[in-house]
Structure 1
Amino acid sequence: MRRPTTPGLVPRPVDRGLTAATAPVDFTEAWLRNRRLSEHTRAAYRRDVTGWLSWCTATGLDPLQASFLDVNAYARTLEATVDPRSGRLLTPATVARKLSAMSSWYAFLVRLRAVPANPVTDADRPRIDRDHSATVGLSPDQVDALFAAARADTGASGPRNLAVLALLADLGLRVGELVSLDVADVGDERGHRSVRFVGKGGRARRRALAPDTAAALDAYLAVRARAAGVAADALDGPLLATASGARLDRHAVFRLVRRLARAAGLPAWDRLSPHSLRHAFATTARAEGVPLEDVQDAMGHADPRTTRRYDRDRYNLDRDPAYRIVAARTARAATSG
């Protein structure tokens, strides 16, 4: 593989203040600043591009001279990489997401004339089964068991943990959206308790808090306010905080979900994640008759096919349209007769 003339440095002048003395990491930060992204998505994209740059350094490849063959070699390396969290090989969807981030990064560099073309464009990306997700799902009964385990937790963090579970299960939030919430994001709107946040793609979003969800959140905030010696409406900062007042992070939420699942006696508890509750939200909403477009809007999906993939019960024969068609025909016949 080609080696850079100056390790880690850009080999040609570029526009907008980025010069030959600018490192690829500076391109990354400029690219991220140019995108409307949530902090969670920004961090994920940064990790994805940093992984590529680290691989380039290890193999002696200048990332600004990479070809689609180099991207293919990196993709094959990713496919043989074990995810330390799951102990399994990275899924095709994870590999595809990393390549997608790289493609966006290179597209930005093309616009800056730092590279002549995007090497990811012609790369061999993994085939993704849009009808399948590797996320372990949960049935409504299993979600109920998680709530029972959370309510049984009488420790100091019990009220917070119940609030976390309620926001994940009742709203189907992404874990990044959850941990980015601030106290100021919770309010009242047109007779609804609501929460506002920045979703995937940097889109401002809002969701209603059902009475039980709001009650769990209020109970946690009341406990937190008493501990701080202030009124609940005087609280500020992160909505979900640690005992020291720091923002709860996504890793703590992962551990919480698995701890509750283990306490509830759920199978495969060690493979569950906050995303499992997002899948459960979609499946349960559709099973309860919520229209697909409403579930799609609630989850912030741009494509309804993504929402359908989250619905684990979509192939249940109980939902076969034939039953409704025949029932309607029978009803018409009875009326006309």
Structure 2
Amino acid sequence: MSRSEAPVLLRTSAGPALPGSPTDFTEAWLRNRRLSEHTREAYRRDIATWLTWCAGRDLDPLRASFLDVNSYARELESTVAVRSGRPLTPATVARRLSALSSWYDFLVKLRALDGNPVVAADRPRVDRDHSATVGLAPEEVDALLAAAEADTGPTADRNRAAVALLADLGLRVGELISLNLDDLGAERGHRSVRFVGKGGRPRRRALTPSTAYAVDAYLAARAAAQGVPVAQLSGPLLVTASGARLDRHSVFRLVRRLARVAGIPAWAKLSPHSLRHAFATSARAEGVPLEDVQDAMGHADPRTTRRYDRDRHNLDRDPAYVLWAARARRRG
């Protein structure tokens, strides 16, 4: 057992020592927060990486200082990501340090530590006005949807439904794969879907006619294959051939395969999140108010929504033109 995993006794000012290991604290911290399962897993990995780093230096993570966190951060910045073959981005490093800071905040609140060592650490600067996600033009989204329509094979109906939900609703991939059949419904004449979004917030969205049609066609084909009525289907909305819930890796592969078929030049760099960015950009270009796009995407801060809008710096949208046109109308 490594030192970072060994049971420890934390003395608190409120009472007796707290028995346990850093891993125990991680699970307690995660249970205390409303998070999606995907986010929980990401945070577990982030904390486990820190604990492993500490163990390799015979450093008790509960006695680490901001100098140790700085050393860790600089090492992260030079770490090469397996998938991309490039160093971790500042945003990734900042996210890992943010998770670590939240973990230490939890221990401080338990009075297990006097202070959070991440607070005084030197975190990388992240450009909040930039995203590394490769975007899609509206015509490329159309081409991707057309490729899905032309797709064949036993999973073609499911693939069409998945891509339609991503493109028309701008869902996060985690939100997409977490959907269950009983999340589908109808409200005031709208076909709708309910789900739990980022931060554990309940969300609901309207299904467009084309997306509702794609979902209905998929469920009809799935029910027919099982020899049951659609009403008797249960469990996850999107499933594999064996009936298991579709995972995010399959959705990544699906988007890239269809993008390649559609002839999209950047197909190898696309992700499901590319469709989310395209949703925001196209909605704003079509005149949808920022607050409506923000609500649809589940953003707590409108600045996040603006970052998704790839066309926000287009001079066609400069308000100077609107003021000039209004002045011209007044002058008659």
TM-score grouping bracket, smaller chain normalisation: over 0.9
Instruction: Report the Cα distance in structure 1 between the residues aligned to 2:29 and 2:173, rounded to whole angstroms.
Output: 24
Same amino acid, percent of matched pairs? 73
Asked whether the equivalents of residues 225 and 232 of structure 1 are also in contact (C-alpha less than 8 Å), the reply is: yes
Structure 1 residue 263: deviation in Å?
1.3
Pairwise mapping of residues 174-323 of structure 1 onto structure 2 (< 5 A)? 174-323=172-321
Match of 2:168 among 167, 170, 176: 170
Asked whether the equivalents of residues 138 and 282 of structure 2 are also in contact (C-alpha less than 8 Å), the reply is: yes
Instruction: Report the Cα distance in structure 2 between the residues aligned to 1:206 and 1:10, rounded to whole angstroms.
Output: 44
Q: Which stretch of the first structure deviates more once superposed, 80-89 or 236-245?
A: 80-89
SS in 2 for 1:197: strand
Tell me the residue number matched to 1:12. 10
Instruction: Report the Cα distance in structure 1 between the residues aligned to 2:185 and 2:280, rounded to whole angstroms.
Output: 25
- The answer to whether 1:39 aligns with 2:37 is yes
Structure 1 residue 324: deviation in Å?
1.2
SS in 1 for 2:191: strand
* Deviation per residue, 1:171-214 (Å, 9 max, x gap): 11111111111111111111111111111111111111111111
Tell me the residue number matched to 2:105. 107
Amino acid aligned to 2:60: D
* Deviation per residue, 1:45-72 (Å, 9 max, x gap): 2221122122222232211111111111
Asked whether the equivalents of residues 15 and 112 of structure 1 are also in contact (C-alpha less than 8 Å), the reply is: no
Instruction: Report the Cα distance in structure 2 between the residues aligned to 1:106 and 1:228, rounded to whole angstroms.
Output: 50
Relative to the length of structure 1, the TM-score reads 0.94
Relative to the length of structure 2, the TM-score reads 0.95
Match of 2:59 among 37, 41, 61: 61
Instruction: Report the Cα distance in structure 1 between the residues aligned to 2:133 and 2:157, rounded to whole angstroms.
Output: 27
Amino acid aligned to 2:45: R
Structure 1 residue 87: deviation in Å?
2.2
Q: Which stretch of the first structure deviates more once superposed, 14-23 or 33-42?
A: 14-23
Instruction: Report the Cα distance in structure 1 between the residues aligned to 2:16 and 2:34, rounded to whole angstroms.
Output: 21
* 5+ long unaligned stretches in structure 1: none
Tell me the residue number matched to 2:123. 125
SS in 1 for 2:101: helix
SS in 1 for 2:130: coil
Asked whether the equivalents of residues 258 and 272 of structure 1 are also in contact (C-alpha less than 8 Å), the reply is: yes
* Deviation per residue, 1:223-278 (Å, 9 max, x gap): 11111111112111111110000011111111111111111121121111111111
Tell me the residue number matched to 2:325. 327
Amino acid aligned to 1:152: A
Asked whether the equivalents of residues 284 and 290 of structure 2 are also in contact (C-alpha less than 8 Å), the reply is: yes
Amino acid aligned to 1:34: N
Q: Which stretch of the first structure deviates more once superposed, 88-97 or 291-300?
A: 88-97
Asked whether the equivalents of residues 79 and 92 of structure 1 are also in contact (C-alpha less than 8 Å), the reply is: yes
Structure 1 residue 20: deviation in Å?
5.4
Asked whether the equivalents of residues 9 and 20 of structure 2 are also in contact (C-alpha less than 8 Å), the reply is: no
Sort the Cα spacing of 1:36 and 1:7 in 2 relative to 1 into closer, same or farther, 3 A. closer
Asked whether the equivalents of residues 282 and 307 of structure 1 are also in contact (C-alpha less than 8 Å), the reply is: yes
Deviating beyond 3 angstroms after TM superposition, the runs of 4 or more aligned structure 1 residues are 13-21
Instruction: Report the Cα distance in structure 2 between the residues aligned to 1:235 and 1:163, rounded to whole angstroms.
Output: 16
Tell me the residue number matched to 2:155. 157
SS in 2 for 1:196: strand
Structure 1 residue 114: deviation in Å?
2.0
Sort the Cα spacing of 1:290 and 1:19 in 2 relative to 1 into closer, same or farther, 3 A. same
Amino acid aligned to 2:261: A
Instruction: Report the Cα distance in structure 2 between the residues aligned to 1:226 and 1:15, rounded to whole angstroms.
Output: 64
Amino acid aligned to 2:121: A
Instruction: Report the Cα distance in structure 1 between the residues aligned to 2:5 and 2:312, rounded to whole angstroms.
Output: 52
Tell me the residue number matched to 1:97. 95
SS in 1 for 2:8: coil
Instruction: Report the Cα distance in structure 2 between the residues aligned to 1:83 and 1:183, rounded to whole angstroms.
Output: 36
Structure 1 residue 74: deviation in Å?
1.3
Instruction: Report the Cα distance in structure 2 between the residues aligned to 1:331 and 1:141, rounded to whole angstroms.
Output: 34
Amino acid aligned to 2:105: A
Instruction: Report the Cα distance in structure 2 between the residues aligned to 1:15 and 1:222, rounded to whole angstroms.
Output: 61
Asked whether the equivalents of residues 71 and 123 of structure 1 are also in contact (C-alpha less than 8 Å), the reply is: yes
Give the alignment's Cα RMSD to 1 decimal.
1.9
* 5+ long unaligned stretches in structure 2: none
SS in 1 for 2:20: coil
Sort the Cα spacing of 1:15 and 1:194 in 2 relative to 1 into closer, same or farther, 3 A. farther
